[in-house]
């Protein structure tokens, strides 16, 4: 049984159409992805230690994945020995139930969250809000997305598809709703100042902080949380209760492993040597300490991960969510993250969405959202062979007969005809006859079916009057004839 992901909303053609019709979004995405990709290249070029650490980190990560169960047991023992609580959650409902239980027991009304893909995956906010809790996303990008009622469009910079004017409009609306002063302008410091003021108030009033986690260190039961803004520190330091929701794939065995991994999300994500804030949390606040949470809960989320162990897809669990594959992907750079209809967009999303949510959840992604250019495979610091996985998923779709009958028929006929020279030549002749109606000004225009999709946005030359084969045969005939 795979896990469960929130539904996509609109259909794939609809999402794709909306994305392509939004030039502001496309410009914003093109700019942010290019800038992140350039920064990544630059840091690896100027910081030689980065590459050596990366290579060791790949080995460390795969080594840990090879014994996940034993490590999770060790982690659990360690966290509990430090006074923390650990639960294993199979899917979204388990997490929701547990968090709401704790909230009820501790009289929690207001929750602050630091950015976490795991909680996006299980739509935790919705579950909590439906139960009457006030939930505030505190990462600046996530805050913008929450106000817009959208889904993060990039795993690292969730609001990178928004322009500053759009952000200001959202903040103005929020200011009116909260009866506070709106931002004074749309310059970055002005917008940031507004968010800081609003989010500060949320932090100080919150009873519960919910975070994700970048890594879990089994040998000491330590949660590793990486942020640039410091909202991770706030979320895990101020409220009375801290709950971390972390995928079981985040486990590493030792601090020595972590030492090689710790800088990788920053290096490949933003081109920084280390993110601004890295926090190691081992259990709740201790005897004599006056700050930090009184309770620490660690929810280990499975949601379809465990069953990937031992399959050809296992290396996908080594992903550190750096976003490097998104930034180099021509499909992502063209349509942005929203069009994927899932919180995991770009190449990693194309693979992870069907693996976690079932192939039926997003059959269009492996099939249509990849050009097999292999840029992601080159960019991935964890050396995950994303294109190979995409091909494997395509194969599975065909084996299960999931593609529409028209596709099956088209490819069946195509295969038949082009399997031998006579068939190939025959289709050429038919196409040349058929295209006559559609050739205008020496170009193919307004053709039907598959070809029409191509000619709608591109210039296609018509097939030549005579094929090479025909020309060759004619030439040979005239030579021998003379």
Partner 1 sequence: MVGAAACLEDRVVTRKPSAGSLAEASGRDALVAEFVESWRGLEGDAWIVRGGRDEVRRTIVEAARIMVEDGGPATSCRVLAWSTADLASLDLPGLLAQQGWEHVPWPTGARAGEAAAGTNGAAAAGDVPGAEEVTRTQAELVTLAAASDLGITTCAWAVAETGTIALYATPATGRLPSLLPTAHLALVRPSQVVRTVPDGLRLLAEYMAREGDPPSAVNLVSGPSRSADIEGDLAVGVHGPRRAGVIIGEW
**Segment 362 to 401, residues that bind ligand SF4, using CB under 6 A:** 379-382, 384
323 binds ligand SF4 (CB under 6 A): yes
Number of residues that bind ligand SF4 (CB under 6 A): 14
Instruction: State the minimum distance, in angstroms, from the CB of residue 234 to partner 1.
Output: 6
Give the residue with the Cβ less far from ligand SF4, 335 or 379: 379
Binding segment toward partner 1, per CB under 8 A, in 93-101, 103-111, 200-208, 333-341: 200-208
The pair of structure tokens assigned to 72 is 């999770």
158 binds, among partner 1, ligand SF4, none (CB under 5 to 8 A by kind): partner 1
From 50-58, 65-73, 192-200, 317-325, give the range in contact with ligand SF4 by CB under 6 A: 317-325
Contact pattern from residue 6 through residue 45 relative to partner 1, giving x for each residue in contact according to CB under 8 A and a dash for the rest: ----------------------x--xx--xx---------
Judged by CB under 8 A, the residue of 6, 230, 358, 423 near partner 1 is: 230
* HEC letters along the chain: CCCCCCCCCCCHHHHHHHHHCCHHHHHHHHHHHHHHHHHHHHHHHHCCHHHHHHHHHHHHHHHHHCCHHHHHHHHHHHHHHCCCEEEEECCHHHHHHHHHHHHHHCCCCEEEECCCHHHHHCCHHHHHHHCCCEEEECCHHHHHHHHHCCCCCCCCCCCCCCCHHHHHHHHHHHHHHHCCCCCCCCCHHHHHHHHHHHHHHHHHHCCEEEECCCEEECCCCEEEEEECCCHHHHHHHCCCEEEEEEEHHHEECCHHHHHHHCCHHHHHHCCCCCCCEEEEECCCCCCCCCCCCCEEEEEEECCCCHHHCCCCCHHHHHCCCCCHHHHHCHHHHHHCCHHHCCCCCHHHHHHHHHHHHCHHHCCHHHHHCCCCCCHHHHHCCCCCCHHHHHHHHHHHHHHCCCCCHHHHHHHHHHHHHHCCHHHHHHHHHHHHHHHHHHEECCEECCCCHHHHHHHHHCCECCCCCCCHHHHHHHHHHHHHHC
Smaller CB separation from ligand SF4, 25 or 316: 316
Instruction: Quickly count: other Cβ atoms within 10 Å of residue 181's Cβ.
Output: 9
To ligand SF4, the closest distance from the beta carbon of 323 in angstroms equals 5
The interface with partner 1 within residues 128-187 (CB under 8 A) comprises 138-141, 144, 157-160, 162-164, 167
- Min. distance of Cβ 345 from ligand SF4 in angstroms? 10
Binding at 323: pick from ligand SF4, partner 1, none (beta carbon under 5-8 Å per type): ligand SF4
Nearer to partner 1, 204 or 473 (CB): 204
Query: Contact with ligand SF4 (CB under 6 A): which of 43, 50, 252, 319?
Result: 319
Residue 60 is a binding residue for ligand SF4 (CB under 6 A):
no
Q: How far is the CB of 52 from ligand SF4 (least distance, A)?
A: 18
Hey, which residues between 301 and 330 contact partner 1 (CB under 8 A)?
none
Q: Considering beta carbons, is residue 61 or 78 the nearer one to ligand SF4? A: 61
Per partner kind, with CB cut-offs from 5 to 8 A, the member of partner 1, ligand SF4, none near residue 348 is ligand SF4
Q: Which does 380 bind (CB under 5 to 8 A by kind): partner 1, ligand SF4, none?
A: ligand SF4
Does 321 participate in binding ligand SF4 (rule CB under 6 A)? Answer: yes
Shortest Å distance, C-beta 139 to partner 1: 7
Give whichever of 79 and 118 is closer to ligand SF4, judged by the CB atom: 118
> 3-state DSSP call for residue 135?
strand
Q: By CB under 6 A, is residue 325 in contact with ligand SF4?
A: yes
Which 255-274 positions form the footprint of ligand SF4 (CB under 6 A)? 268
Cα 373 from Cα 386, distance rounded (Å): 11
Find the binding residues for partner 1 in span 59-118 (CB under 8 A). 82
Residues from 71 through 100 that contact ligand SF4 (CB under 6 A): none
The Cα–Cα gap between 81 and 77 comes to 6
- From 119, 125, 222, 268, residue interacting with partner 1 (rule: CB under 8 A): 222
Task: Write down the H helix ranges in 285-420.
Answer: 324-328, 330-335, 346-357, 364-368, 375-379, 386-399, 405-418
Distances (CA, A) of 387 to 205, 334, 369: 46, 18, 11
Tokens linked to 275: 């993110």
Question: Closest separation between CB of residue 320 and ligand SF4, Å?
Answer: 5
The widest CA-to-CA distance across the chain, in whole angstroms, is 106
Whether the CB-CB separation of 290 and 307 falls below 8 Å is answered with no
Selected from 146, 236, 338, 353, the binder of partner 1 by CB under 8 A is 236
Q: Which pair of structure tokens corresponds to residue 251?
A: 């486990």
Cβ 386 to ligand SF4 shortest distance, Å: 6
Give the count of beta carbons closer than 10 Å to the beta carbon of residue 228: 17
What would the x/- binding string for ligand SF4 be over residues 330 to 369, using CB under 6 A? ------------------x---------------------
Please report whether residue 320 would count as binding ligand SF4 according to CB under 6 A: yes
> Does 248 engage in binding with ligand SF4 (CB under 6 A)?
no
List contacts with ligand SF4 (CB under 6 A): 268, 319-325, 348, 379-382, 384
């Amino acid at each position: 049984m795979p896990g469960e992901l929130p539904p996509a909303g609109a259909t794939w053609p609809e999402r794709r159409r909306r994305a392509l019709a939004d030039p502001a979004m496309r410009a914003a995405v093109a700019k942010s992805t290019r800038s992140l990709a350039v920064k990544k290249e630059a840091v690896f070029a100027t910081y030689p230690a980065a590459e050596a650490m990366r290579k060791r980190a790949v080995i460390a990560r795969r080594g840990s994945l090879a014994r996940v169960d034993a490590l999770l047991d060790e982690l659990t023992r360690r966290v509990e020995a430090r006074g923390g609580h650990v639960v294993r959650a199979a899917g979204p409902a388990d997490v929701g139930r547990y968090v709401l239980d704790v909230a009820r027991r501790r009289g929690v009304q207001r929750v602050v969250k630091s950015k976490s893909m795991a909680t996006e995956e299980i739509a935790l906010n919705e579950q909590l809000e439906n139960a009457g809790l006030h939930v505030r996303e505190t990462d600046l990008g996530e805050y913008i997305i929450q106000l817009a009622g959208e889904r993060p469009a990039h795993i690292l910079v969730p609001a990178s598809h928004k322009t500053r004017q759009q952000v200001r409009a959202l903040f103005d609306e929020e200011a009116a709703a909260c009866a506070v002063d709106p931002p004074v302008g749309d310059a970055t410091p002005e917008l940031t100042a507004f968010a800081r003021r609003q989010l500060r108030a949320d932090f100080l009033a919150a009873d519960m902080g919910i975070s994700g986690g970048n890594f879990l260190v089994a040998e000491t039961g330590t949660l590793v949380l990486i942020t640039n803004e410091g909202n991770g520190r706030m979320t895990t330091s101020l409220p009375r209760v801290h709950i971390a929701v972390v995928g079981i794939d985040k486990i590493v065995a030792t601090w020595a492993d972590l030492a090689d991994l710790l800088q990788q999300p920053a290096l490949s994500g933003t081109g920084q040597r280390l993110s601004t804030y890295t926090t190691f949390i081992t259990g709740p606040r201790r005897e004599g300490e006056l700050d930090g949470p009184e309770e620490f809960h660690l929810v280990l989320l499975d949601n379809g991960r465990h069953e990937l162990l031992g399959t050809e897809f296992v290396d996908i669990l080594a992903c550190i969510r750096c976003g490097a594959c998104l930034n180099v992907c021509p499909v992502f750079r063209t349509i942005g993250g929203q069009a994927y209809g899932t919180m995991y967009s770009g190449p990693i999303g194309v693979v992870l969405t069907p693996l976690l949510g079932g192939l039926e959840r997003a059959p269009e992604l492996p099939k249509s959202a990849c050009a097999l250019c292999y840029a992601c495979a080159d960019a991935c610091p964890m050396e995950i062979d994303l294109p190979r996985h995409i091909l494997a998923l395509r194969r599975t779709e065909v084996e299960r007969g999931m593609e529409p009958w028209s596709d099956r028929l088209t490819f069946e006929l195509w295969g038949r005809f082009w399997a031998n020279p006579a068939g190939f030549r025959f289709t050429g002749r038919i196409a040349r006859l058929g295209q006559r109606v559609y050739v205008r000004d020496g170009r193919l225009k307004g053709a039907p079916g598959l070809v029409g999709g191509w000619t709608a946005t591109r210039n296609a030359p018509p097939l030549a009057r005579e094929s090479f084969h025909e020309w060759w045969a004619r030439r040979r005939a005239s030579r021998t004839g003379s």
